[in-house]
Every structure is written in C-alpha cells, then in structure tokens.
Amino acid sequence: MTAVPQFDPVIHPPARLQLAAALSEVDDMEFGRARDLLGVSDSVLSKHLAQMQEAAYVRLRKAPLGGRQRTWLVLTAQGRAALKAHVRALQDLAGIVG
Amino acid sequence: MTAVPQFDPVIHPPARLQLAAALSEVDDMEFGRARDLLGVSDSVLSKHLAQMQEAAYVRLRKAPLGGRQRTWLVLTAQGRAALKAHVRALQDLAGIVG
DNA sequence: GTATTGACTTTCCAATGTGGAAAATGATGA
DNA sequence: TCATCATTTTCCACATTGGAAAGTCAATAC
C-alpha cells in the first residue's frame, strides 16, 4: 500500500544527484574537477561513478592529456532522463509548493 | 571547495521527503494513515517524526478520537519552507533540465 | 627494459542511517 | 486494577557512505 512513488535509488543520494546535476550543465567534466566539486576523495567518486555507470547514467571517456591519461565524465541520455524524472517526481510530490 | 550546495539532511531522505510532501497537501494527517502511506512500521515513522520535530518541521497534535488517543501530524511553516527550499535547490541544481 | 609517477580503482574498515521486532509507556475503558 | 490501543523506545541487523591505503595500468624517466 505504498501510495507514495519511490525515487530512483541510483540518483537520489546527494553526491550522485549533485554529480548528475553538475554534469547536466556541461558536455563533460574531468574526474579531478568533479571530485573537487563534490568535495570527496578519489575513491569515493570512483565508487559513485561505478554505480552510475552500471545504471548507464554516466559514461567515462579516457584519453591522454598532457602526456597523462585522464578521465572525462559524460552524462548519458539515460542519465539526463533520470535526473529529469527525479526533479519532476519531486515537483509532483511537492505539488505546487513553491 | 565544495561548490555544490548541500541538501537539508533532515528533509532529504526519501521517507521524510515523501512525508513532508504528503503533509504539505493537507491540513493534517493521522499517524496510522501516514504510516500506511509510507509503507513503514510504527516505530520507523515514529523515529522519522522525532527527527522532523527536532527540526521543528512537524508538530504532533494529540487528541482523543473514538475514545482512544490519536496523533495528527502537521507540517509547520518551517517544514513547508524547508520542503520548498529543497525543491527549489534541486531545480536550481538541475538547471532547466525539464 | 625497469623504475617511477600520475590517475584512477579496489579493498578494508569505521561511522551512520534506516528498518523491523519486541518491550515499554501512557491514557483510557472494562 | 487489568486489559487494550496508540504510539515510543530499545535492541539489533543490514545497507550505505566515506576515507585511507594498497593495487593497477599507462606513459615517461632513466
């Protein structure tokens, strides 16, 4: 009898929601920049990315930059759709509160 | 260097967010009805309510009904503001995604 | 070719948070 | 006073999140 719709557990946790939102506004973002933006450690970002990749919400593009291999994060169409759905779900849930 | 705004930890967890949203659309709601709506046990709802009361987001009104004491949940102005702020924060964060 | 370095990734572990069951509490009603 | 209903609190189990440190893998440095 759960009359209340559930949120997408992949995208709802703060760090991932913030990451998805940040990625939605750019074409891509470097791993290090995303890590600093979220204020987490390498390992933590890496683990969140693993979850988001598994859900196909993010794609990693690895390419050399300045001699070193770097990773760029890209929000996929599915990831964008999930973010959109989440925002909409919350708006619906909250009615016309604001 | 956390450039990303944080969410209100009291209202962000799914169960509390859903509860706040549900309460925002009515004047008040019975404890049992809220419990069924969220699909959780008495104890769990009670604990969430304790958190929300501590943040002054919810007020409990106890009064007898049918001889027995019942509890009604009321979203306070602060609770409503917090929900509103949360929705807005997410919208801002997500830009004009949808 | 091997050592080193940089950029992640994985493993390990501590801290939190959420959920349920069951015991406890408090207010009635019998 | 005893039983019952409506929560509340206590006790646990489990999942999640976070950081540190070790591991991996390229791409130089030597």
The model's pLDDT over B38-49, given as tens digits with 9 standing for 90+, comes to 999 999 999 999
- β-strand partners of B74: B59
pLDDT value of position A92: 82
Look at residue B66 and tell me whether its pLDDT is greater than 50: yes
Using the Cβ of B7 and the Cβ atoms of chain A, whether some distance falls under 8 Å is answered with yes
Question: DSSP character for B98?
Answer: -
* Stretch (H or E) spanning B81: helix B77-93
The model's pLDDT over A12-54, given as tens digits with 9 standing for 90+, comes to 999 999 999 999 999 999 999 999 999 999 999 999 999 999 9
The model's pLDDT over B6-23, given as tens digits with 9 standing for 90+, comes to 789 999 999 999 999 999
The answer to whether the beta carbons of residues B78 and B55 sit under 8 Å apart is yes
- In chain A, what percentage of residues exceed pLDDT 90? 74
The model's pLDDT over B24-35, given as tens digits with 9 standing for 90+, comes to 999 999 999 999
Amino acid at A23: L
Size of interface A-B (CB pairs under 8 A): 91
Q: Among A4, A16, A36, pick the best mutation site for testing chain B contact (most B Cβ within 10 A).
A: A4
Residue with tokens 């007020």: B59
Nucleotides of C under 7 A from a protein CB: 6-11, 17-23, 26-29
Query: Do residue A2 and residue B84 have CB atoms under 8 angstroms apart?
Result: no
C-alpha B60: how far from chain center: 12
C-alpha A79: how far from chain center: 7
User: Per the structure block, which two tokens stand in for B52?
Assistant: 């929300």
- In chain A, what percentage of residues exceed pLDDT 70? 92
Using the Cβ of A96 and the Cβ atoms of chain B, whether some distance falls under 8 Å is answered with no
pLDDT value of position A27: 96
How many Å lie between the alpha carbon of A66 and the closest alpha carbon of chain B? 24
Cα-based angle B61, B63, B69 (whole degrees, multiple of 5):
115
> Nearest chain A Cα to B94, which residue?
A21
Query: Do residue A12 and residue B7 have CB atoms under 8 angstroms apart?
Result: no
Q: How far is the CA of B21 from the C1' of D10 (A)?
A: 29
User: Average pLDDT of chain A?
Assistant: 90
Look at residue B1 and tell me whether its pLDDT is greater than 60: no
Query: Do residue B87 and residue A91 have CB atoms under 8 angstroms apart?
Result: yes
- Which residue did the predictor score with more confidence, B68 or A78? A78
pLDDT value of position B98: 52
Cα–Cα distance, B28 to B34 (Å, whole number): 10
- Which residue did the predictor score with more confidence, A64 or B42? B42
Cα–Cα distance, B82 to B17 (Å, whole number): 10
